[in-house]
């Protein structure tokens, strides 16, 4: 989907590109990709780079354009893992600025009238616009990290009584999410540092906004690393818990088998085709049943005394 706005705030949508305008593209179709290349005269290789899910964040300068690629978090249940990251490209020329992402995202939501609803004034500087994207990206990382932590706590409660690997697989997916987050946040941090130190950027950058973006990015990185370290330890601990739970179940089944073996043994002895001196006794059957129950109860009490049950 392609939306064209008069300014970076995304308040006023226009049918055609104006000087200083902003083009927001999300989940482009094949026809829209052709239009990007032909109408906006963008290099095909740059478009392919931005739409590559494995593209690394970077800052690139050319005579006619400047490209900034960052990685942003995505929430999706259809990708095998609930959270992952994709590249977001910001393509800047003298005429317009274009943001391009292959997935719908919470950083630049295509269906909302403005991604900066908390701002009541227009954003006119492209680099400060990029810093706002870094800031929103950091906030989104933090929100998703809190959700990952909450989901991990639920999985922990299930793992304490589990003897299956399904909960352990869920925990492994959470760990993969954190690895994606850490890798992407570190790469974004490098791009932020390049933006701060680049001599090719001539416009004045809002230092307060830059500082906020850096702080938010570092906070997200620290939280992701802390959660990752905790989960790495939990993976080993809960693998032992599952093994121990399985051993407990096997022990209980073995004790039950022993208890059931007692009446079976007694019935087998008295059921043999040899004289046992009670075959003609009227109360033989009740006697055998009572004897079996007595030894079985004795076995249960013995196991409970040893705290095996």
Residue 120 reports pLDDT greater than 50:
no
Q: Of 2-6, 24-28, 286-290, which gets the smallest average pLDDT?
A: 2-6
What's the gap between Cα 170 and its chain centre?
10
Domain ranges of the chain: 2-244, 245-305
What percent of the chain stands above pLDDT 70? 87
**Is the predicted pLDDT of residue 10 greater than 70, yes or no?**
no
Least confident of 13-22, 48-57, 156-165, 222-231: 156-165
Mean pLDDT on 180-209: 82
Estimate the share of the chain in helix, then strand, then coil, as percent rounded to the nearest 5. 55, 15, 30
The CATH homologous superfamily of the domain defined by 2-244: CorA soluble domain-like (3.30.460.20)
- pLDDT for 181 equals 92
| Residues forming beta bridges with residue 84, ordered by sequence position | 74
CA 94 from centre of chain: 38
CATH topology of domain 245-305: Methane Monooxygenase Hydroxylase; Chain G, domain 1 (1.20.58)
pTM: 0.74
Average of pLDDT values for 35-50? 80
**For residue range 215-274, what is the model confidence (pLDDT) as tens digits?**
988 999 999 999 888 887 777 776 677 677 778 778 888 888 888 888 888 887 777 777
Task: Read off the tokens for 30.
Answer: 């094949």
Q: What is the pLDDT of residue 185?
A: 92
């Amino acid at each position: 989907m392609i939306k064209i706005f008069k300014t970076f705030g995304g308040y006023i949508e226009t049918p055609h590109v104006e000087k200083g305008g902003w083009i927001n593209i999300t989940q482009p179709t094949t026809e829209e990709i052709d239009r990007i290349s032909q109408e906006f005269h963008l290099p095909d290789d740059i478009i392919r780079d931005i739409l590559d899910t494995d593209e690394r964040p970077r800052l690139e300068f050319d005579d006619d354009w400047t490209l900034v690629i960052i990685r942003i978090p995505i929430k999706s249940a259809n990708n095998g893992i609930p959270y992952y990251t994709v590249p977001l490209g910001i393509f800047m020329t003298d005429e317009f600025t274009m943001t391009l992402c292959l997935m719908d995202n919470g950083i630049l939501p295509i269906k909302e009238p403005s991604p900066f609803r908390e701002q009541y004034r227009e954003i006119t500087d492209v680099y400060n616009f990029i810093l706002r994207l870094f800031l929103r990206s950091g906030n989104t990382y933090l929100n998703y990290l809190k959700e990952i932590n909450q989901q991990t706590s639920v999985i922990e409660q299930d793992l304490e009584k589990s003897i299956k690997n399904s909960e352990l697989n869920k925990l492994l997916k959470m760990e993969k999410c954190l690895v994606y987050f850490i890798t992407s946040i570190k790469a974004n941090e490098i791009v932020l540092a390049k933006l701060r130190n680049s001599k090719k950027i001539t416009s004045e950058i809002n230092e307060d906004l830059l500082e906020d973006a850096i702080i938010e990015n570092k906070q997200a990185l620290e939280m992701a690393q802390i959660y990752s370290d905790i989960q790495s330890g939990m993976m080993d601990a809960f693998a032992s818990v599952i093994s121990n739970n399985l051993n407990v179940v096997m022990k209980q089944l073995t004790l039950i088998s022993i208890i059931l073996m007692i009446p079976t043994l007694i019935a087998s002895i008295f059921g043999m085709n040899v004289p046992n001196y009670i075959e003609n006794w009227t109360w033989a059957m009740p006697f055998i049943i009572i004897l079996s129950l007595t030894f079985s109860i004795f076995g249960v009490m013995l196991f409970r005394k040893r705290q095996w049950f």
